[in-house]
Amino acid sequence: MDEKQENFDIEDIIKKQRDFFKTGKTKDLDFRIMQLQKLKNSINSNETLLLDALKKDLNKSTFEAYTSEVGFALNDIDFMIKNLKSFAKPVKVKTPPAYLGGKSFIISEPYGEALIIGPWNYPFQLIISPLVGSIAGGNCSILKPSRSAPETYKAIEKVISDAFDEDYIYVVKNGSIKSSELLTHRYDFIFFTGGPTVGKLVMEAASKFLTPVTLELGGKSPCIVDKDTKIEYAAKRIVWGKYLNSGQTCVAPDYLMVHKDVKEELLNKMKEAIKEFYGSNPKESNC
């Protein structure tokens, strides 16, 4: 499919989703909970496919793929199912003097049409977890997973197509349209995870329509180790956080600020932790 054809399809999908949103079905809390359960069921049904895809794309072990991606997303779904009705309750607030005699509440309303653009380093979790929020918030969604994780892209397409109609949730076909072209259309909310360079382009595109955005862009993450710290625990936690997902985590420790009295001990304990976690030759590790 060429880009022009996909662009036409995106326009058609956006219209279908806006029409579906206007029916008011997504405002019903029981409907939202049902959709979250459908998403959970589809993920569970496709678990093996997802784990295999993450292995092919990122060489993730089964344990790491489940704990950092599949299981992470399932936990988000369970949390939202349990708490959605509480989150959606009107919040009573103080009535301004001009409206004395009345009562004031904050009522949460869906945005409408959400675009979710995901990264390559957590290609499943960082598409599905924002989707969980979108569903819980009563929105329709268009998903754009990362082209750099093609097998996971296919698996996401299956998870979504098994559970939902495209007039509610749609996955853009891989390689058929660039994110820059996708951003020329109007949405009601955009959620982007990635780097600052592309994040600026997303915000620029959104500003043309005054579309609200969430930009999850990472940043520098220092780790401070004081002399009173339990060094063995600190070393293991630093190594785990740094090397999880081969270090490709936006909140992984970037640099250490260590009290000089415990510097050498920390370095030695970190070396021991690396060997304990990954063996004498980490390149051969399946962890």
Tell me, yes or no, whether 207 and 280 share the same domain: no
Average pLDDT score over the chain: 94
pLDDT over 70 for what percent of the chain?
A: 96
Tell me, yes or no, whether 59 and 195 share the same domain: yes
Count the domains in the chain.
Answer: 2
- DSSP string covering 1-70: --HHHHHHHHHHHHHHHHHHHHTTGGG-HHHHHHHHHHHHHHHHHTHHHHHHHHHHHH---HHHHIIIII
Burial 19-45 (b: 16+ CB within 10 A, else e): ebbeeeebeeeeebbebbeebbebbee
pTM for the model: 0.90
The whole-number pLDDT of residue 1 equals 47
The whole-number pLDDT of residue 134 equals 99
Residue 97 inside a domain? The answer is no
Domain residues for the domain of 116 are 9-90+106-217
Q: Let me know how many helices (H) and strands (E) the chain has, helices first.
A: 11, 9
Tell me, yes or no, whether 165 and 266 share the same domain: no
Residue 101 inside a domain? The answer is no
- pLDDT band (50, 70, 90) for residue 177: confident
Q: What is the pLDDT of residues 193-232, one digit of tens each?
A: 999 999 999 999 999 999 999 999 988 899 999 999 999 9
Query: Which residues form the catalytic set?
Result: 216, 250
Tell me, yes or no, whether 226 and 267 share the same domain: yes
Tell me, yes or no, whether 212 and 256 share the same domain: no
Q: What is the pLDDT of residues 137-151, one digit of tens each?
A: 999 999 999 999 999
Q: Is the pLDDT of residue 7 over 70?
A: no
Tell me, yes or no, whether 124 and 150 share the same domain: yes
Residue 83: Cβ-neighbour burial (10 angstroms; 0-12, 13-18, 19+): exposed
